[in-house]
Chains A and B, each alone.
Chain A
Amino acid sequence: MFSWFANPHRFLTLSSWLAPICYALGALLIAWGLWQGLWIVPKDEYQGGDIMRVMFLHVPAAWLAMASYMGMAVMSFIWFIWRHEVADIAAKAIAPLGATWTALCLVTGSIWGKPTWGTWWQWDDARMMSVLFMFFLFLGYMALRGAMDTRQKAARAGAILAMVGAINVPLIKFSVDLFTSLHQDASVITVDGPKMAAVYLWPLLASGLGHSLLFAGLVMTLMQAEIWQRRAAQIRARLIAGD
């Protein structure tokens, strides 16, 4: 099944129409979520007033921080087992973008924390710590790939690290959760179904989906760039060999 996607040429055709769709839909959803979140929904006095409007940026960023790392690990796994080049190109493209959204999650969380807890950085908060370590995992992955001298080595080393990181994420999260938390419990997904008021839920889901689509589109464009670069390098190598 993965083999079908493993062909770079097929990926280029697929992404040439899928990426623009992702951008368009993503922009629409983010715009709607922002409009709802900033203009329409009432402020929640229980959550500290207007500051909870940061949620429509912070929560999608947190979701993408986790999802992108998992995506990178899955792509690394696929590359490691089946050696499909496109999977490695995907993992490589996800890393800098995932790091960006992870950093965004940290920054917005910090800004949200200042008026709510009275501090920019709350060491007691399990989620802030988890996301910080997520950020380090991304940085380590990028630094390791950058330090390798060939593409093949970068792919192999990166895949090993991404997989080791991924199996450690639950343990890191568990250990960090042991610290008592000032943060409220996860309120979007609970056993009894979402308990957040519907007025907030829909804009939040729209923002989350919108950010995910935008992210997916950016990953595809970055992958295209990588494939084009590799093709140009291949042609140049052939040209030199032929002369």
Chain B
Amino acid sequence: MSAAPIISAFRQALTEAWAGGAGALMPLGFFAGAAVLVPLGIGTDPNTLRAVGPGILWVALALASLVTLERIFQADVEDGALDLWLQTGAPASMIAAAKAFAHWLTAGLPLAILSPVFAVMFQAKADTSLLTHMGLYALGGLAFFFWGGVGAALSATVRRGGLLISLIALPLYVPTAIFGALAMSGGPGSTGAPLFLAASTLFALAVAPFAMGAALRLAAD
């Protein structure tokens, strides 16, 4: 067993994301589109926008992660890359974790980094709390990509599995979405929420790779 297949899976996921045009830009476009459409839909009242802003960004982040997930394992199953990696004896869970992490790096992290821009568009006050929020979005996004990866790995052999992935991932996204939005609400319960968010992300990092690994071994059969 060596780390080579894991590194190669990670590298391949990174190049895949940047190659072929849309790649990493697709979730970004989705995120921006959602953020721009919301004020058109619910009106431009600054107080309303300020209240719903963080929540909208969490929803957009969750949905944006689903947009890219459909292809993250499917391509490897189809072109046989998955079989090659597994033949080397590398643990499937680590390969899966590397891919999910790479996708978070290319699609999740840029959204988190851009979040202050959208937050300001939603009338948030431009202060240091936006940086804290950036960290929270990044942390929550990691959990989204890992749980979404479970759905993606399970439906890797299913053609047009997008809806299936969403259905599987939706309940798994709930704790992250709740803790994340709660942490930014400033209301009661918001002080402990960042810790809960961190804990639930850690939980996803600990559990999801094994589920993804088991699902990938199934897909390779």
Contacts and interface: CB of A to CB of B under 8 A. Distances in A.
Q: Do chains A and B touch in the complex (CB under 8 A)?
A: yes
Interface of A: 129, 133-134, 136-137, 139-140, 143-144, 147-149, 153, 156-157, 160-161, 163-165, 167-168, 171-172, 174-176, 178-180
Mostly helix, strand, loop or mixed at chain A's interface? Answer: helix
Interface stretch (B9-17, B36-44, B62-70, B149-157): B149-157
Contacts of B200: 171, 175
B73 to A, nearest CB: 13
B215 A157 contact: yes
Residue from A144, A164, A174 having most chain B Cβ neighbours under 10 A = A164
A223 B203 CA distance: 35
B172 A156 contact: no
B156 to A, nearest CB: 10
A168 B171 contact: yes
B4 interface: no
A156 B221 CA distance: 11
Interface of B: 150-151, 154-155, 157-158, 161, 163-164, 167-168, 170-172, 174-175, 178-179, 182, 188-189, 193, 196, 200, 203, 207-208, 211, 214-215, 218, 221
A83 B95 CA distance: 26
B170 A153 contact: no
A176 B178 contact: yes
Residue from A133, A147, A148, A167 having most chain B Cβ neighbours under 10 A = A147
Given A156-B218, A160-B214, A144 B178 contact: no
Contacts of B155: 144, 147
Given A136-B167, A164-B207, A172-B174, A153 B157 contact: yes
